[in-house]
């Protein structure tokens, strides 16, 4: 019975650390430490290191969970009948996940994850992303030279736009600045389409010159935290 209890406790602590790791990395990025995660989870540092040998092991486990979420979005997209709607759904939902999770956004580039884990993620998800693009190409709703890798770079571009907004000051007279990246997603989506007689209405209003200047000229905190959201 003691062994069973220890296994249950270990599993429970691991789950708590995974959840805490996602929350900490989502807010602070992957520079947060395993000690930070242990404190957030309410467990001792020793317990954290018994469940994960180092921060990289925790990141790998989180990456696996995130890949599950992305795979579910891709499968939902591929189950849709309309290839254009499927492509839009995949981009909007996957980008929204990355926008609210700084750690996940950093993992997208593959520069903060071990190569073998990045390879596993690519082998799992890339065929599905390529299929989303292939269906849209075959249906003639995107340009004939568009590829799955183009979709990944569209995501990276939108996430970068969102990061600029998140790290900047509050934009005066704008309550929708957190969705600003969606405006540029739709600009990019129109760029994916073949020649069209019209363009898609943009979902978010553009910033004024003054608002953009205020956003880009404000200093970023040394700890890369979101100053305007911590008050």
Residue 47 has pLDDT above 70, yes or no: yes
Residue 151: its pLDDT value, please? 93
Whether residue 77 sits in one domain with residue 47: no
Give the range of the structural domain holding residue 11, as residue numbers without chain letter.
Answer: 1-53
CATH assignment of the domain containing 3:
1.10.10.60
Q: What is the mean pLDDT of residues 108-135?
A: 87
pLDDT at 201: 81
Sign of CA dihedral 63, 69, 73, 79: positive
In a domain, 176, yes or no: yes
Task: Say what the pLDDT of residue 136 is.
Answer: 96
Q: Alpha-carbon distance 78 to 85, whole Å? A: 10
Residue 167 inside a domain? The answer is yes
Which carries the bigger pLDDT value, residue 217 or residue 128? Answer: 128
Please report the pLDDT score of residue 213 as a whole number: 67
Instruction: Specify whether the CB–CB gap between 150 and 133 falls below 8 A.
Output: yes
- Asked if 170 and 211 count as a contact pair (C-beta separation under 8 A), the reply is no
pLDDT digits (tens, 9 = 90+) for 81-95: 999 999 999 999 999
Instruction: Say if residue 68's pLDDT is above 50.
Output: yes
Token couple for 90 = 């995949």
Q: Among 3-17, 46-60, 128-142, which is the least confidently predicted range? A: 3-17
Split at pLDDT 50, 70, 90, the class of 231 is: very low
Are 97 and 188 found together in one domain? yes
Q: Which of 163, 186, 188, 191 is nearest to 29 (CA)?
A: 163
What percentage of the chain exceeds 70 in pLDDT? Answer: 88
Examine residue 231 and state whether it is found in any structural domain, yes or no. no
Q: How high does pLDDT run on average in the chain?
A: 87
Instruction: Pick the more confident residue, 9 or 185.
Output: 185
The set of residues, in sequence order, having a beta carbon less than 8 Å from that of 126 and lying 6+ positions away, is: 148
- Per-residue confidence (pLDDT) for residue 197, from 0 to 100: 73
Sheet strands (E) in the chain: none
Percentages of the chain per state (helix, strand, coil), in multiples of 5: 70, 0, 30
Task: Indicate the number of domains in the chain.
Answer: 2
Q: Do residue 46 and residue 107 come from a single domain?
A: no
CB 98 within 8 A of CB 159: yes
* pLDDT value of position 116: 86
Cα–Cα distance, 128 to 21 (Å, whole number):
27
Same domain, residue pair 1 and 86: no
The answer to whether 179 and 203 are in contact (CB under 8 A) is yes
Let me know whether 6 and 49 are in one domain: yes
Q: Are 64 and 56 in contact (CB under 8 A)?
A: no
Reported confidence tier of residue 195, pLDDT bands at 50, 70, 90: confident
Q: Is the backbone of residue 32 left (phi > 0), alpha (psi -120 to 50) or beta? A: beta
Instruction: Calculate mean pLDDT across residues 198-208.
Output: 76
pLDDT greater than 90 at residue 218:
no
Name the nearest CA neighbour of 158 among 141, 175, 183: 183
CB environment 141-170: b (16+ within 10 A), e (fewer): bbeeebebebbbebbebbbebbbebbbbee
- Residue 228 is predicted with a pLDDT of 47
Q: What is the pTM of this model?
A: 0.83
What's 210's domain CATH number? 1.10.357
Asked if residue 214 is part of any domain, the answer here is yes
For range 107-134, the mean pLDDT = 86
Region 33-51: mean pLDDT is 93
- Check whether residue 194 and residue 100 sit in a common domain: yes
Cα–Cα distance measured from residue 38 to residue 186, given in angstroms and rounded to the nearest whole number: 40
């Amino acid at each position: 019975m003691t062994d069973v209890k220890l296994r249950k406790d270990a599993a429970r602590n691991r789950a708590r650390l995974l959840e805490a790791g996602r929350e900490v990395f989502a807010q602070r990025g992957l520079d947060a430490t395993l000690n930070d995660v242990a404190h957030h989870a309410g467990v001792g540092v020793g317990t954290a290191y018994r469940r994960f040998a180092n921060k990289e092991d925790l990141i790998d486990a989180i990456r696996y969970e995130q890949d599950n979420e992305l795979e579910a979005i891709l499968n939902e997209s591929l189950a849709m009948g309309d290839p254009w709607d499927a492509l839009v759904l995949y981009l909007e939902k996957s980008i929204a996940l990355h926008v609210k999770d700084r750690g996940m956004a950093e993992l997208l580039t593959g520069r903060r994850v071990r190569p073998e884990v990045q390879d596993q993620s690519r082998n799992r998800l890339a065929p599905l992303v390529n299929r989303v693009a292939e269906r849209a190409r075959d249906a003639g709703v995107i340009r004939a030279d568009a590829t799955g890798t183009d979709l990944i770079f569209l995501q990276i571009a939108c996430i970068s736009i969102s990061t600029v907004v998140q790290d900047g000051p509050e934009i005066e007279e704008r309550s929708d600045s957190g969705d600003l990246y969606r405006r540029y997603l739709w600009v990019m989506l129109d760029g994916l389409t073949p020649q069209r007689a019209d363009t898609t209405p943009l979902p978010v209003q553009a910033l004024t010159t003054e608002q953009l200047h205020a956003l880009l000229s404000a200093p970023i905190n040394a700890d890369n935290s979101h100053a305007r959201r911590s008050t």
